[in-house]
């Protein structure tokens, strides 16, 4: 139980935090005019070169600044963020190793929520996936991108899991292993996209960088930024698509593992190792 004194400490520290933060802003910690009238040098540089056919050597040739920064200007950074996310999922799978989750013979029609909720879910499922796909596939043109689209797409299996039960979705093919395969395809695609310019350049004997998108001074090979007049942003579109697959499948794995009943885990623990090979 918390005492009144502890409650008081929490309340006072939160109030102090807010007041001090407002004090810093009030005395000009971020400048006196917000937002600042002058765009910072690095920001103006990004705004200038994000889509600039007259400076091809510096440009990412995609009109969406954030995606250009995320997958081109600081692409390696994002690659390792993806790696961190992948390692977290590997960790969860390793913890839940040997837990199969039991394919009990259950009547899945009796599981889950009511018929009304199930019907509404069936209708809205397509919309969720459509929105997610549009966020990811247009990521190089409009706000959004691979992670955003993948996180939105992951909401769909989550809702299915809650509304219909785990047995239902595992019966319909959304199992840990298929999601693992999907996730591996996504990661393989990201890896291949990072090397695609190098592979193209090797064929013609020209030098190239890993994670290169558009042509650079000493590496003249680059991805086409438009196909038939439609902007693709070079590698950005491929990165977004593969990242969406990887993120959506990764989140789904986590949900499937969390949805395994606690008794299954305890059974494994009591057996002392379980049935994993």
Partner 1 sequence: MSPETLILGILGFLGLVSVIATFLAIMERDLLRAVLFSAIQSTVYAFIYYLLMAPDIVLVYIPVAVGLYPAIVLFLIKKTERYEGESGENH
Q: Which residues contact 67 (CB under 8 A, 6 or more apart)?
A: 139, 140, 144, 145, 233, 236, 240
24 lies in the binding site for partner 1 (CB under 8 A): no
219 vs 259, beta carbon nearer partner 1: 259
39 vs 192, beta carbon nearer partner 1: 39
Count of alpha carbons within 13 angstroms of residue 75, beta-carbon side: 22
For partner 1, how many residues bind (rule: CB under 8 A)? 27
Nearest residue to 63 via CA among 75, 46, 87 = 46
Among the listed ranges 7-15, 54-62, 172-180, 194-202, the one in contact with partner 1 (CB under 8 A) is 7-15
129 lies in the binding site for partner 1 (CB under 8 A): no
Q: For 104, phi and psi rounded to 5 degrees?
A: -70, 150
CA distance 118 to 181: 28
Judged by CB under 8 A, which of 8, 14, 25, 130 binds partner 1?
14
CB of 86 to partner 1, least distance (A): 17
75 vs 144, beta carbon nearer partner 1: 144
Draw the binding track, 102-121, toward partner 1 (x: CB under 8 A; -: no contact): --------------------
CB distance 208 to 197 below 8 Å: yes
CA distance 156 to 39: 39
Draw the binding track, 154-193, toward partner 1 (x: CB under 8 A; -: no contact): xx--x---x-------------------------------
CB distance 147 to 243 below 8 Å: yes
86 three-class SS: helix
Judged by CB under 8 A, which of 91, 143, 207, 220 binds partner 1?
143
DSSP assignment of 247-270: HHHHHHHHHHHHTS-HHHHHHHHH
Judged by CB under 8 A, which of 210, 258, 269, 271 binds partner 1?
258
Judged by CB under 8 A, which of 148, 165, 175, 240 binds partner 1?
148
DSSP assignment of 146-214: HHHHHHHHHHHHHHHHHHH-HHHHHHTT--HHHHHHHHHHHHHHHHHHHHHHHHHHHHHT----TT--S
Judged by CB under 8 A, which of 50, 59, 82, 152 binds partner 1?
152
255 lies in the binding site for partner 1 (CB under 8 A): yes
Residue numbers at the binding site for partner 1 (CB under 8 A): 1-2, 7, 10-11, 14, 18, 66-67, 135, 143-145, 147-148, 151-152, 154-155, 158, 162, 251, 254-255, 258-259, 262
């Amino acid at each position: 139980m918390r005492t009144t004194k502890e409650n008081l400490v929490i309340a006072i520290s939160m109030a102090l935090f807010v007041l001090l933060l407002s004090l810093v802003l009030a005395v000009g910690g971020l400048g006196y005019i917000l937002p600042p009238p002058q765009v910072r040098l690095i920001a103006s540089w990004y705004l200038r070169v994000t889509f600039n056919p007259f400076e091809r050597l510096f440009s990412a040739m995609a009109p969406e600044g954030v995606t250009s920064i995320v997958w081109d200007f600081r692409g390696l950074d994002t690659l390792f963020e993806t790696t961190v996310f992948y390692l977290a999922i590997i960790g969860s799978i390793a913890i839940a190793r040997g837990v199969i989750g039991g394919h009990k013979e259950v009547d899945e029609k009796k599981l889950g929520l009511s018929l009304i909720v199930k019907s509404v879910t069936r209708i809205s499922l397509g919309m969720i996936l459509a929105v997610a796909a549009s966020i990811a596939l247009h990521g190089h043109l409009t706000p959004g991108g691979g992670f955003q689209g993948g996180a939105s797409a992951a909401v769909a299996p989550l809702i299915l899991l809650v509304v219909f039960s785990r047995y239902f979705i595992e019966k319909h093919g959304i199992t840990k292993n298929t999601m693992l395969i999907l996730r591996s395809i996504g990661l393989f695609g990201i890896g291949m996209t990072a090397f695609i310019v190098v592979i193209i350049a090797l064929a013609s004997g020209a030098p190239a960088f890993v994670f290169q998108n558009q042509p650079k001074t000493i590496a003249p090979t680059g991805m086409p930024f438009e196909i038939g007049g439609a902007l693709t942003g070079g590698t950005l579109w491929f990165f977004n698509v593969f990242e969406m697959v990887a993120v959506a499948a990764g989140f789904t794995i986590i949900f499937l593992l969390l949805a395994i009943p606690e008794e299954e885990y305890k059974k494994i623990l009591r057996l002392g190792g379980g049935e994993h090979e």
